[in-house]
Amino acid sequence: MATEVQTKPRVRYRDLGIIPYREAWDLQTELHRDLVERKLANRKRPPGEVEAQVHHLLFCTHPHVYTLGKSGSLEHLLLKEEELRARGIEFFKINRGGDITYHGPGQVVGYPIFDLDEFFTDVHRYVRTLEEVIIRTLADYGLEGIRIPGYTGVWLDGTDVLPQRKICAIGVHLSRWVTMHGFAFNLNTDLTYFGHIIPCGISDEHKAVTSLALELGREVDEKEVKEVLKRHFAELFGFEWF
């Protein structure tokens, strides 16, 4: 009797370049809906007619924007509406978890749109795996990324003269086990924009925000970092590129 061949999930990668936040959010929503609809349709199809899922990994950079997660507080945005307009900064309340964060030039934002039914149905494991992608990428640049209990994202530990520094924020949304949103990894980011918010709602004076360029003391090649991130994504999630 023939046995069914188990194939790896297939992921399509797209680098969207610089894209307005709303446009990227709309694209995520469309791709998310397609995965959910295909999954539900497959449950009604006989085995020979099931359509394979194609998952998505989107990388992009946004023009200056603050986004507030569904569990966040508007009080953590320190600029008024007219000040945002004057500075050319957009603002969106969105449906991911977490509080307020900043996206802008010099940052790589990653949006995995995965049907976790084809990976693992464990939200905690999913977030930890996203963190591990960043931690392994930092290790390739000679830095030790850490997790801090009670906080999502990836940090660098404090020293006698430096606080603990957050280098990557993570906020996700899942519906029917299909993911949206993702991570924001500071590469050559202008960190002064974080001064207009209470990043992730964390007001602890012993915690700060940093970037890969600041930690290395040089500007980094963003294309190179994206290739490193892609490699660790494929390794940790066990998929093949489509």
Catalytic amino acids?
200
Q: In one letter, which amino acid is 222?
A: E
Which residues, including other chains, have CB under 8 Å from residue 20's CB and lie 6 or more apart? Answer: 62, 63, 90
Beta bridge partners of 231: none
The radius of gyration of the chain's CA atoms, rounded to the nearest angstrom, is 19
Q: Where are the beta strands (DSSP E) in 2-149?
A: 10-18, 54-61, 65-68, 90-93, 100-103, 107-113, 145-146
Q: Where are the beta strands (DSSP E) in the chain?
A: 10-18, 54-61, 65-68, 90-93, 100-103, 107-113, 145-146, 154-156, 164-175, 178-186, 207-209, 240-241
Query: Which tokens go with 193?
Result: 């924009």
